[in-house]
Amino acid sequence: MEQIAFFCGAIGALGGAIAVVALKNPFYSVLALVIHLVFLAGIFLLLMAQFLAAALIVVYAGAVMVLYVFVAAYVGGIEEPRWDSSPELKLIGPIAAIALFVAISIAIVGSGLSALSTTGPDDIPAGFGTPEAVGHLMMEDFLIAFEAASILLLLAAVAAIVLAGRRREDPNKLPKGGESS
């Protein structure tokens, strides 16, 4: 039963991820990404990482993807002209992609695959994957990394507001009235 659930989740997640890249319509791509995230959350649940699963759905499917869908639905219908890349980019692009693939492969083979061959720990510690356990990890063991990430996000948010505010100062470019928000 566990295997069936895993393979359903894996096929769904991989299929969703491939569909994101393969589909032509950006709106469907975004929807495929949502499907991918939902199946990924299912796999997290199988791994007892329930807080991570819930956070994935709430934050990504529930907030980030809503914004993506919003944008894709509003401007998605426009046919964009095919963009011709320069010959240098055609050469550098694949090289960079292969280099990234090799780097990630080394990282996975070096660390992750050794765990794949085992059956995993026999006894999962009580409360594994609950919000309490994740909270203890973030606030005690990885406090500096957690704070650094939150400061980075705060900076990005402030920067976004500053950039948006600067554009609004130009009164000629912003149409007045109507549904503005």
Name the token pair of 125. 């510690």
Q: How far apart are CA 117 and CA 99, in angstroms?
A: 26
Asked if 118 touches other proteins (CB under 8 A), the answer is no
Asked if 159 touches other proteins (CB under 8 A), the answer is no
Instruction: Pick between residue 6 and residue 17 the one whose CB is nearest to other proteins.
Output: 6
Among 124, 139, 143, 149, the residue binding other proteins under the rule CB under 8 A is 124
x-or-dash string of contact with other proteins, 72-101, rule CB under 8 A? -xx---------------------------
Asked if 2 touches other proteins (CB under 8 A), the answer is yes
Among 10, 17, 23, 27, the residue binding other proteins under the rule CB under 8 A is 27
Asked if 48 touches other proteins (CB under 8 A), the answer is yes
Q: Taking a C-beta distance cutoff of 8 angstroms, is the pair 43, 10 a contact?
A: yes
Q: Taking a C-beta distance cutoff of 8 angstroms, is the pair 30, 65 a contact?
A: yes
